[in-house]
Amino acid sequence: MEPFLFASEAFLLWLLLAADAVSAFPRPPQRLGAQKILHDTLSLPRRNLTLPVHDPAPCQRITELERNRKGYLYGRSLIGDSSYFISGELGDRLIKEHLDLWYRDAAWVSEAVENGSRAVAEAVARGGGLGDLASYELLYRDQWQEVNPAGVAPGVHTNYTQDLFFSMERLSANAFSVRRLHPTKDRLPFAVEESIVQKLTGLSLSTLHVTGRLFLSDHSYQLDYLDTLSKGRYSAACSAYFYIHPVSNEFLPLAIKTNVGENLTYTPLDEHNDWMLAKMLYNSNDLFHGQVSHLASSHAVAEIVHQAALRTMSKSHPVRAYLDRIMYQAYAIRPVGESALFSNGGFFDTVFSTTNPAVRRFATKFYPATVGRFRANYLVSALESRGLINCTYGPALQHFPLFEDAAPVVGAMRRFATSFVDAYYLEGDLMARDHELQEWALEATGPAKVLDFPTWPLMQKETLVDILTHMAYLTGVSHHVLNSGTPCTTTGVLPFHPAAIFQPIPKSKGVKSLLPYLPDLGTSIAQIGLFIRFNRAKLIDGRGCLVNMFSDDGFLHGQPNEVQKAAEEFKGKMEEISKIIRGREFDQEGKAQGIPFIWRGMDPSSVPYYLSV
């Protein structure tokens, strides 16, 4: 009993210290009971929707828009330099409203995570502590049930040492960092010993390259962040090759180069511990990438397009209503991020190896270069440009879970957006005569500085459908496959995905034990707690989940029958997809979608329809 009490007390002390370090985390005004949250506010207030050309009271609309242009202003970007953050008198009011909504949800999650942290610390102590890799499972088994009811994805703890597990995470849980190398336009960024490549693949590195079978995930840009490391924490800046095996056609890892210190290159032919460490170093870099890029790719983009709409379209405009609906609570996230997650000594600094300046540098660099570009990140375009689908210079991927699951969801979003646009723009020239819509497009490409937005004037219904589909994709798909429930179920699960590394990166191979590199009990619980804070268990199967993105009385009030019908169809399709995803099981080979774990990150009944955190 003694050691157990001691461990538990030490942990409570740690909790207090950690809580102090992150005291900037916004607290709700009062503690709310677990049941008293979600989601009486989720409905969009009723409006009478009309295009400006049909509005019987055009003067009121003009007055409203004058007020909006004065009241919603473009302010300083938050968390690095990406898109403007909203400001002005009306903007500030909206932020406050959204923060209030956000706290209502977060209050319960926070409290439950704190309770869960205590329970886990006791369970691990009872189980003998974190003495080996297997014991990290104690951090999850029968824990966190309220806040993460789905638990860790099936197969994660049993199969994480398999190479296919590691490689297929690149095509499911974070499919945004890997690309296929082009045979002529891309050069090989690093060499791998030829005998090893031959032994693993039966081909040479250059043959893999010219036949379009070689892929790269490059986190070497993280070298620029190494001056931000926390004391006692370390990081590599890995680049990794993956390849399509010429016989099995499986997508597998080939090599990982650390890019730091002795620049060691690891391969699956290394000793077990060395190769495992290399994969963990990579995972740590990739976790940074997934978590930080989601900020600039979903929040920063969706917000700025919506901000342009707030200034140019009346509340009565159907397109504005569509955007308002999916931008529920969205303006809470960047301020909360700024003040608690990425503040000095905040959650990010507590959990990751690098500290918050790295996050700001990443956003500043990658927002204009890649992730902030509107059209370039349409689902199909983004995957095509990285050679993952419709590739003309190499074989197709045998399995691509992200695309398999996201494509039908985005297809359904497109069908809804098409019905929506068709229902309002009945005649050919109505879009041209809709001066609010045109002002929006002009504003977006002009003062709002949305990058790579479709050009003004906005004349084609198809283009408007693309925009609305992409906005729904940003708030209902791309955000959640990276953030929300993803890190707590897959990409951030210990011991394989440490957010921080606690030993210097080795100068030579032959590492004896992986344990010293991994977070200890307190830091492990902090990592898990942070990632669970991104999850929103209370909205599973409820009004806030993706199934109900368009099925909302307030939003549908007074809308044409075609829109009502399209919302029903969308809902039906999401329920169907959810059933498939929830029913997914391991096949005889112990895989699902070709991967040795069950990926449910895209379940429309479990992910929010909005930018939840």
Ligand X SMILES: *[C@@H]1O[C@H](CO)[C@@H](O)[C@H](O)[C@H]1NC(C)=O
Q: Report if residue 401 touches ligand X, rule: CB under 6 A.
A: no
Do 85 and 303 meet the contact criterion of CB atoms below 8 Å apart?
yes
Print burial letters for 548-583: b (CB count within 10 Å at least 16), e (below 16). Answer: bbbbbeebbbebbeebbebbeebbebbeebbeebee
Chain centroid, CA 584 distance in Å: 22
Q: Report if residue 47 touches ligand X, rule: CB under 6 A.
A: yes
Q: Which stretch binds ligand X (CB under 6 A): 415-423, 442-450, 475-483, 584-592?
A: 584-592
Nearest to 499 by CA among 462, 524, 532: 524
Q: Report if residue 233 touches ligand X, rule: CB under 6 A.
A: no
| CB-nearer residue toward ligand X: 159 or 273 | 159
Considering the complex, what minimum distance in angstroms separates the CB of residue 527 from Fe ion? 17
| CB-nearer residue toward ligand X: 69 or 118 | 118
Q: Report if residue 34 touches ligand X, rule: CB under 6 A.
A: yes
Considering the complex, what minimum distance in angstroms separates the CB of residue 295 from ligand X? 26
Of 48, 206, 248, 460, the one binding ligand X by CB under 6 A: 48
Q: Which stretch binds ligand X (CB under 6 A): 135-143, 258-266, 369-377, 503-511?
A: 258-266
Give the x-and-dash track for 406-435 against ligand X (CB under 6 A). Answer: ------------------------------
| CB-nearer residue toward Fe ion: 177 or 483 | 483
Counting residues that bind ligand X (by CB under 6 A) gives 22
Amino acid identity at 394: G
CB neighbour list of residue 487: distance below 8 Å, 6 or more residues apart: 287, 290, 291, 493, 497, 531, 534
Chain centroid, CA 99 distance in Å: 20
**Helix or strand holding residue 179 (H, E):** strand 178-180
Do 609 and 546 meet the contact criterion of CB atoms below 8 Å apart?
yes
Q: Report if residue 126 touches ligand X, rule: CB under 6 A.
A: no
Bond from prior residue into 604 cis (ω within 30 degrees of 0): no
| CB-nearer residue toward ligand X: 135 or 161 | 161
End-to-end CA distance of the chain: 40
Q: Which stretch binds ligand X (CB under 6 A): 43-51, 280-288, 336-344, 566-574?
A: 43-51
| CB-nearer residue toward ligand X: 291 or 478 | 478
Considering the complex, what minimum distance in angstroms separates the CB of residue 335 from Fe ion? 13
Q: Report if residue 293 touches Fe ion, rule: CB under 5 A.
A: no
Between CA 74 and CA 519 the distance in angstroms is 41
> What φ, ψ does residue 215 adopt, rounded to 5°?
-125, 155
Do 148 and 487 meet the contact criterion of CB atoms below 8 Å apart?
no
Q: Report if residue 486 touches Fe ion, rule: CB under 5 A.
A: no
In residues, how long is the chain?
613
Print burial letters for 593-604: b (CB count within 10 Å at least 16), e (below 16). Answer: bbbbbbbbbbbb
Of 27, 46, 96, 199, the one binding ligand X by CB under 6 A: 46
Q: How much helix, strand and coil, in percent to the nearest 5, is found in the chain?
A: 55, 5, 40
Between CA 518 and CA 497 the distance in angstroms is 9
Of 108, 243, 288, 416, the one binding ligand X by CB under 6 A: 108
Counting residues that bind Fe ion (by CB under 5 A) gives 1
Q: Which stretch binds Fe ion (CB under 5 A): 141-149, 383-391, 421-429, 476-484?
A: 476-484
Of 112, 192, 448, 539, the one binding ligand X by CB under 6 A: 112
| CB-nearer residue toward ligand X: 51 or 308 | 51
| CB-nearer residue toward ligand X: 379 or 444 | 379
> Which residue has its beta carbon closest to ligand X?
590
Q: Report if residue 548 touches Fe ion, rule: CB under 5 A.
A: no
Considering the complex, what minimum distance in angstroms separates the CB of residue 240 from ligand X? 14
Residue 483 binding: pick among Fe ion, ligand X, none (C-beta 5-8 Å cut-off by kind): Fe ion
Bond from prior residue into 29 cis (ω within 30 degrees of 0): no
Q: Which stretch binds Fe ion (CB under 5 A): 101-109, 356-364, 478-486, 493-501?
A: 478-486
Of 60, 63, 115, 248, the one binding ligand X by CB under 6 A: 115
Residue 111 binding: pick among ligand X, Fe ion, none (C-beta 5-8 Å cut-off by kind): ligand X
Q: Report if residue 389 touches ligand X, rule: CB under 6 A.
A: yes
Q: Report if residue 483 touches Fe ion, rule: CB under 5 A.
A: yes
Q: Report if residue 391 touches ligand X, rule: CB under 6 A.
A: no
- Residue 571's alpha-carbon distances to 310, 399, 548, 550, 563, in angstroms, are 27, 27, 6, 8, 12
Residue ranges in 150-169 that form contacts with ligand X under rule CB under 6 A:
154-155, 158-159
Q: Which stretch binds ligand X (CB under 6 A): 108-116, 130-138, 461-469, 537-545?
A: 108-116
Do 556 and 128 meet the contact criterion of CB atoms below 8 Å apart?
no
Q: Report if residue 174 touches ligand X, rule: CB under 6 A.
A: no
Considering the complex, what minimum distance in angstroms separates the CB of residue 360 from Fe ion? 16
Considering the complex, what minimum distance in angstroms separates the CB of residue 237 from ligand X? 8
Nearest to 219 by CA among 182, 190, 248, 187: 190
CB neighbour list of residue 383: distance below 8 Å, 6 or more residues apart: 175, 389, 403
DSSP 3-state assignment of 188? coil
Give the DSSP letter string of 404-448.
HHHHHHHHHHHHHHHHHHHHH--STTHHHH-HHHHHHHHHHHTTT
Q: Report if residue 347 touches ligand X, rule: CB under 6 A.
A: no
Residue 57 binding: pick among Fe ion, ligand X, none (C-beta 5-8 Å cut-off by kind): none
Taking residue 375's Cβ as centre, other Cβ atoms within 10 Å add up to 16
**Tokens 């009062």 map to which residue?**
30
Considering the complex, what minimum distance in angstroms separates the CB of residue 47 from ligand X? 5
Task: Show the CA angle centred on residue 33, arms to residues 31 and 36, nearest 5°.
Answer: 115
Chain positions contacting Fe ion, by CB under 5 A:
483
Residues that bind ligand X (CB under 6 A): 34, 46-48, 108, 111-112, 115, 154-155, 158-159, 220, 259, 262-263, 389-390, 586, 590-591, 596
